[in-house]
Structure 1
Amino acid sequence: MKILPKRLKQGDTIGIVAPASPPNQESLLKSFSFLESLGLKWKLGKHVKDVNGYLAGTDEDRLKDLEEMFADPEIAGIFCAGGGYGTARYADRLDYQLIQENPKVFWGFSDITFLHTAIANYTDLVTFHGPMLASCVGKDTFHELSAKMFQQLFQPMELHYSEAISPLETLSPGVVSGEMTGGNLSLLASGIGTKFEINTKGKILLIEDVGEEPYRIDNLLNQLRLAGKFSDAAGIVIGDFAKAEPKKEPSLSLQEILHHYTANLGKPVLSGFKIGHCEPHFAVPLGAKARLDANEKTLTILPGVE
């Protein structure tokens, strides 16, 4: 049985961690007014301001911040300040028993995908693929819909995505139900062959990425294909692939590559979701039950909190 974290309520304190790269401190500071508008208090991890090259402090310190937030009974949920790189460096040392015994809202995306997958593999906790504080919330581009997505943490609500939000393209027709899983394509590929390899069996797989040229996306999709992740999946949700322009011509287009890998799978595949490194960013609970209808072009997801 999946564990749904307890819903947040006004007056709750959330923990803020930097599990990967150093977050922009100015943007992080700007995000606090949004947290106030939600009625939340916050507590910063001890190492959120640390800089260790492209990492927000040492692996040990980032790991400790995360575990301390899960262990702290005063903390109702955990929001990631940003992504970048580095969560996979300590995933094998994370105390998953601690997380299982102290289930709470855990929210982030991008490099945080590695943690989402690891937590899914070793606990039953539903986690949230959503916009982060420094990299999204604290920026001038933060969209009204992205802000609204945080409401799913305060009351159990079904999420509905249709073409009212963005144009969607059916790459392969069909209707299917299953658990949501996935996230950043590069991180999913980097877990293949490890004990943090994503399990897509009977699930609806979400993929998105940023700054990858078409040939790189081709390579990453092929890796998932060869690992059986597409054949295992019940359906595929294709999110945003920002900054995917080729640096050299000639090149296949992003659409040609997506068609090549997904159009003949014989299962529902729907493309064009504003999920990922984009605004608006439609946040989704990973591990929650969902229904993908590639004929009617809709995605419906059951609540991620109790």
Structure 2
Amino acid sequence: MSQELPRALSRGDLVALVSPASWSSEEWIETSTAVLECWGLRVRCGVHADDRLGYLAGRDEDRLADLNAAIRDPEVRAVITLRGGCGSSRLLAGVDVDALAKDPKPLVGYSDITALHRLWHMAGVPSLHGAVAGEHAEIVRDILYGGTPAPVRADPTQFGAELTTGGRAVGKLFGGNLEMLARSVGVLDFDMRGHVLLLEINKLAGLGNVDRALTQLLMSGALDGVVGVALGWLTGFEDYEDRGWTILDVLRDRLGTLDVPLLAGLPFGHDSNPRVAPLNVPCTLDADDGILTLAAALR
């Protein structure tokens, strides 16, 4: 779906804080609100943003209501998720994608929020894989205010950087958490043709789970037409081995079947301070020079 870029935010604009997955502490809600207000934005918390039901931020219907209220409100110019965890996938069938396509606005979040990034991708709307608090928060602010992200350089000293091949790929960037991408197969339409695939892999997923997720994406055809792979840090896997194989063996075996340029050692990862990656925007992956160049996500 072709879509005009969302309008860049201006001081005084309203943003919505929502909890579509697991619940956050009151302290984190206050911290996120304070950061956004320091950026000159007005903040509205979802009615159910601090609800709790087991590991979920309240009932599915209430989390969905908050998300759709933010999407449908023309005054809201960005949707900020408070945390990932678990639960975003439960909402997929009810999200008002038509309203999002008519009034595009960016989504900010990562981890479990990858499920919702898929919907933004389907609507043709850019989103930000990252968080508004943490050491990279200023990058989020700059992107939301219409800035073009600085080129991201891979670290050749990072574990896993040796997976880098050579070559250059141009296309739109899309991806996120590997497990969540795989679990959306069969739930949402998945078309990655002409895209550079961004992958961040959680250490909680052992080698077998990484293998299963990549195999599902490959065998389902979800990765047909991918033109390049941008691989984040493999934090936690450094000393992990399973019957003679490491994460590097699994990734070589599975991603190697794509036969496309791969750039590893990029500072995207599954931790509390992920580097921000705008999704569904044009990018250039240069595996020879070790640089990922990204276009602006808002106009």
Residue 97 of structure 2 corresponds to which residue in structure 1?
A: 96
CA shift for structure 1 position 124:
1.9
Q: Structure 1 residues 152, 241: closer, same or farther in 2, change over 3 A?
A: same
How big is the shift at 1:171? 2.9
Matched residue, 2:28: 27
- In structure 2, the residue matched to 1:111 is 112
Give the corresponding residue for 1:127.
Answer: 127
One-letter amino acid matched to 1:76: R
Structure 1 stretch displaced more, 286-295 or 219-228: 219-228
Q: Deviations over 1:173-206 (max 9, x none)?
A: 2111101111111111111122x14311111011
Q: Which residue identity does 2:194 align to in structure 1? A: G
Report Cα offsets for 1:28-63 as digits up to 9, x if no partner. Answer: 212333223211220100001111112111111111
Task: Verify: 1:188 aligned to 2:216, yes or no.
Answer: no
Q: 1: CA distance between counterparts of 2:58 and 2:244?
A: 39
Counterpart of 1:178 in structure 2: which amino acid?
A: G
Structure 2 distance, partners of 1:230, 1:124, is 18
Query: Counterpart of 2:93 in 1: which secondary structure?
Result: helix
| SS of residue matched to 2:229 | strand
2:219 to 226, 231, 241: 226
Code of the aligned partner of 1:270 = L
| Partner of residue 200 from structure 1, selected from 192, 201, 215 | 192
Deviations along 1:57-95, one digit per CA (max 9) or x if unpaired, are 111111110111112222221110001111111211211
SS in 1 for 2:16: strand
Does structure 2 retain, via aligned residues, the 8 Å contact 1:18–1:47? Answer: yes
Cα RMSD, aligned residues only: 2.2
Give yes or no for contact 1:160–1:298 (8 Å, CA) kept in 2.
yes
Contact 2:92 2:116 in 1 (8 A): yes
Aligned partner of 1:162 in structure 2 is 153
Q: 1:227–1:4: structure 2 CA closer, same or farther, 3 Å change rule? A: same
Structure 1 residue 247: Cα displacement? 7.8
- C-alpha displacement of 1:263: 3.5
Q: 1:158 deviation in Å?
A: 4.2
Which residue number corresponds to residue 268 of structure 1?
Answer: 261
TM-superposed deviation, 1:232: 2.1
Structure 1 segments unaligned to the other structure (5+ residues): none
Please state how far the C-alpha of 1:22 moved relative to its aligned partner: 0.8
SS across alignment from 1:232: coil
Q: Shift of residue 214 of structure 1?
A: 1.8
One-letter amino acid of the structure 2 residue matched with residue 203 of structure 1: H
Which letter maps to 2:71? Answer: F
Alignment partner, residue 67 of structure 1: 68
User: What fraction of aligned residue pairs are identical, expressed as a percent?
Assistant: 29
CA contact (8 A) 1:7 1:155 kept: yes
Alignment of 1:11-50 (within 5 A): 11-50=12-51
Kindly tell me: are residues 265 and 278 of structure 1, through their superposed partners in 2, closer, same or farther at Cα, counting changes over 3 Å?
same
**TM-score, length of structure 1 as denominator length:** 0.89
What's the TM-score, normalizing by structure 2? 0.90
AA aligned to 1:191 is S
Partner SS, residue 223 of structure 1: helix
Q: 1:150 aligns with which of 141, 144, 160?
A: 141
Residues of 2 paired with 1:213 and 1:146: CA distance?
30
Describe the superposition over 1:105-157 as per-residue Cα deviations: whole angstroms up to 9, x where unpaired.
21111111111112322x221111112x5xxx2xxxx22x4433431111231
Alignment check: 8 A CA contact 1:173 1:268 kept: yes
Mind listing any 5+ residue stretches in structure 2 that lack a counterpart?
Answer: none
Tell me the SS of whatever aligns to 1:29. helix
Aligned residue type for 2:178: L
Q: Name the residue aligned to 1:2.
A: 3
Pair 1:82 & 2:83 matched = yes
Q: 1:165 to 1:25 in 2, by over 3 A?
A: farther
Task: Give the one of 167, 171, 183 matched to 1:178.
Answer: 171
Equivalenced residue count is: 295
